[in-house]
Structure 1
């Protein structure tokens, strides 16, 4: 079978088929052409084409055969009266043969006449011809009875057909034969004889082909054959001589009808009618500008490079009749390789599989599972490759290894692979690991060749659709003319139409190119169409797009370009980009006053609409303030931004820039009065206050898995908050604007829930960083307002973190009860230590031993047994009073360390004030409860010194602290 396919392909390659015009006397063509007035409206074009190419076109053969046989033996031709004839045929031998030959007659009515204007051929009767090579007859019979018989599509014979020599023919220069009929089939064996010209035209039922074997005639033997009712015409020999043996192929199987070509008249008439209706728009508009007819055979890309010559059997028969109809009615035929890929899940019951979920290792061996039937389809798609015309010329080049876009809605039949077996199968087993795994998949591939049909007037649409759309069109326009051709305009029309669809990455390239062509061709209409759609385009080359829009300013009126500029302003992602566009426009309008006024309005509108609060925009905002005055920033821009959240970095950046550019801003180039420094300070204060209000907005931490996120742990969040507080304080100190600092510190001290944790995560590290900052700025810790903050936090610490000292009785009640064994030693360490709970997961005998020891200290601990697991667990928990007593020493040690970090002796007393210092000393056990606060000298009280300040009630109130009454949350008295 593979051998026959190879021979068929070679046979068609040698035949060099070319479509030609219908013969002048083929009157059937005219008989079946309908006037457009007679054509009815069509309903379904795809169905009509499928029906028209249906059963009547199922003929497997061809009405002619043509092939060169390089391995053919030399027949050792012998002609009576001449003798042996040498091959390749020489001119001398040809003239000798002609001397013994007669002019070939032809039938005219009931007479046989000789007329060289109709048939100019020499012939020698078969009885005068013989072959001295015994292999000739065997080769001829095997060639004719196998290759020719099969190619002509004749049904298998029951008795051996006969191949009878009819004539030996000699064609000289000018020799030709016009429109002669044959018998059941005529076989012509052209022996090696050098000639040029002499092409043979064969036609049947409106299909016509030209056979040309001159190029190999000098050295090769060629075999031609056609049915008797095939019209053929031998064109004149232009030089040399052609020597041919003419045979009649005789059918001898009596029980079977004589082979003949099917009557294609009605089928071709129906086919032509469908294409006429399509041509004249009698069918509803298709979803695609083309239809794709699936051929019976699959042809590889190498075969398709020869075009229609590669087709076999029914495919060749159908296309052979379609070509002349398509050419006459303005249609184009093309071929392409269609791949259909289906991905899905295999039937789990197949091959012994028992379920979807199992251990991954159980599925290592998946061999053979590609034969499993597909149960559920996950995905499917079509691709088209290697699109060529009927002569094998490439129409559209796709990317290497990739197919062209293809719409399955164009297929005829609608479901060509339904019920078909896939040409290739792949199976992929279970994937994943022990924790995550997904089931096996199976992939099916189907490979076919399709015949693409479309109207020639739709060619641009088809190439645009199949060839990659925008990329194809842009490549095609590189060869456009100026002024553009009609075809150029059609390509542009398709590009413009595409821009109205959902925007894609390629749209920007299309808009840029169309702007260029509109300017190049000075096409105002095209410019207007592109301008309307430019605003829908998003891309990375915005600067290029702007330049293309602005290029129109030198070609088209400003009013024509305005809409494009507005579109670019909408697309521009930032205020700097929008103002840059307007600056470039300003540079090009020169003295156009209306244009300048329009630009100024747009500039004002862009500033009014600003609400991004991006750090990158700060330099532009400073420029705006310098050129338009601080009032624009204060009244038009900042009010909206103050309502936004997560803008901390913006406000910090703006505050810094305002401070750094204070001198420029106070000597503004705006038409309004220069801004006084106090106005700049007011804006800086607003920025710092806005930044300070967001000190608590800790960033979100993302884990390695993109779908999983959580806030920072408390300690990490505390670090982020501290960094913001310190940064705002630093800027306040730098600018000398302390109001925002005061407000921030009050906010920091306001929320005192879970005070011990607050000190661990926020207050203690904040005081450490604040101390470093003030040291760097060469300011004491008591510098206002920080002295109040430190005082408040120290008092808050000793009252709610350290708390009141347990009573002496509670302290004295802490006692060891162990016997000295290892388990009791652990128990004693627990009793006197700061831990509040201990667990013993031990055997019952050991648990009982511990229970006996703690039975004597019910005032210190409670216990219970968790009867889960083996052995059970004894859980011992300290009572609250005992816990406070055992934790006091460590808490006191930590408190002393906390206070020592802030200062010692007189420095601490100066920071805390007499009453606050005394409270701290008492709490730390450094002063008796009866001690009185140190009295300040009258002179010192009169001084407005910052070293010994009265504590600010407002700042301490934020901490929930009051000195009056010495209130302590843990004071039981």
Structure 2
């Protein structure tokens, strides 16, 4: 029978996924807890069937006679063993080649022991790769002991021996305790199991072993040397990190055999990290240990590791299991890596297709509950760590993929997988930052060649009529063009430039400009002009022209080639971009670019080339303002003569005076609001609110301030006048989104530039805009009507005409309207929020009559609405005042405007009722739009005020007390005398068909 036991698996070759799984699942969590010696017992053990070549069979338990036979067949310790290692009587040793083990059952027992020892010593949880080589059969008589030493009695013949296994056979004795020391000490007592059972212990070769003397009886042991098929003794030692050693061995094997193995594997972690939580810093426990081990081993053998969020989707079938639940077929799963990051957090890929055969764990989702369940599918969200040789990462991450078409048993097809668009630009940008590093340079070359080869194949297939998606986007192709210039590869640059789409990022063309001069590619200029021609805006063309010019300038410092042909091309294309009527000059970017171009031109050329184009597009205020701001900055900074800047600024400004305003910059609106219903046949579509654009307001503010700086007083007065007039015409509820934020920005700009305010156009602008708002929004305090006349409504039918006759009649209080139900509802909807009482008179035959009765509730509601408007207006004014301090901007009008006392003048009231605008349905807080207000006072002479101030400011209004003083006892008495409490919102009449809440138009 064989004396030695082979490793647990007959084929000792590495199974990479299985071995990595075993290694990563049983990592050494802390070196201080490593086991350096192991002790086990076995009850009712098999008899090994020892048979001496010179003496015959040895029976167990050991008898006196068998002991005598064994002594006769044994030898003294070999001479290379130190004499002081044993004391007292001799240890009788029989070498392995002088006896046999006959019992086949012993081999099974020995295999189980090897697995326990291998797992206990943290070598391998299954004993894989570990074999036992029989060494000696030893007999210890009474009084025999071994002094401290390492290893077995005989020096192992196999240099790969990493540990010793000693099996104590049944032979009753006392004493013989075994001491193992390696920083710590462990003591085993095999004597207590020696009569009928056996025990065994194992220890690493670098552990000190001492056997105490046998006090009575005899001790019989079998000694085996433990050998690993791939790991050396210096790796498998008590003082070594065996997990790291195994991982080193596996990655070393993978590196050498990658062609036969795989280019990438994935290990499923326990944590579920996704989105912003996908980070090395978020790892904990076992996952952190796994990643740390992999990172350390990967650095030694040229591997890369990445963290990735895995999303797995499985469509639910129509089949149900025994528990009436829909079955999951893991074979139909679609897995993707939603995000892949390096351990430093850099994202290298997203939306990648993922194949299950990459997973180290076998069927890790089988019988696992999904994280989310939808109607037709279930979802798993997991975190994996990707492991791959570094030289394969470019091909793995930068090869695009597309969904695959698969068919089922019945011939039906569907797409499986996702389209993956690699981040070529991101990879090249990161690697190009260290282009002097040979590894990084080689990676950039590999990426560029991969993209070029893929595009070449794609174009070839396109020519053959094979329609497939373009493998890389335009921006990535352009980045490859620039990279070839950085790599100084002329041939590949020319080939990639031929593939380059026309519309790409302007930054690409800096490299193109350098290549033009470096390789003297004058013949490439016509194609470069084609790239320009596809852009519609002058700014886009100039971005490219300027980048080409910078590239030529960069290269001219390193090259002796003449750049005249390229400079001539730059001048011609610049002039063409400005003069071509088909090229748009409309945006702020266009204005800034043209102003930058003016810095290179003398004043006559500016007037002959540039200003005609600007004036031709003067209606595009955004472009015009940006042009003027850039011109002013150029003169202020010295990149253009200040006189030239002033002349150009004033010339363009003169063309935009007519129609200038906040809304001249173009509409910026929220999406259109949903339709609202008013009455049975009315449908109102609410227009969108304007969006406040801080940048546009800053531009206008700077423009106005620059006019002051350049002493363009006439132009400034006209601009301010236009803004003041615009404030009188816009919707009152748009002030919050337009003029209020604008005034804040203008005020802060004026304060920053320290422009004097007293009697300035800016002070006039603030006074006129804010007084306009107060006058038109707050309006005069309502007065109780002296007769029964009421404001009329906007008529939209003949019935409304009859209603208006009743409302305007100062002597008629009651109105009876006999009509069908829908007509009655329509009439009432017109006055439902004015306080007019109504009821339906059903005493007559059908159709019934709607009876309307005028009362004083109208005043009560109107006064409450007026108070509400006062509160809103004060809040807005206080908000502006808190940011920029309105006192210097309003001057002596500060108190009347901010306190609203200008609207409390009873002497200014010439009407005895509210404006007709207060009809039903015109105002809904926060969303509806007030119609343009008629003048509150039209026949009161204007006192001495700023130009354009409204007529509502009556004589003596500057001295009026604030509204908070509540010095209106007559009005208070009237309100207190009303029994019904005033309310802004009236409950819907249950008799009305229209399902609405009517809000009073205040």
TM-score by length of 1: 0.38
Higher RCO (CA 8 Å, separation ≥ 6 residues): 1
Greater C-alpha Rg? 1
Instruction: State TM-score, norm by structure 2.
Output: 0.37
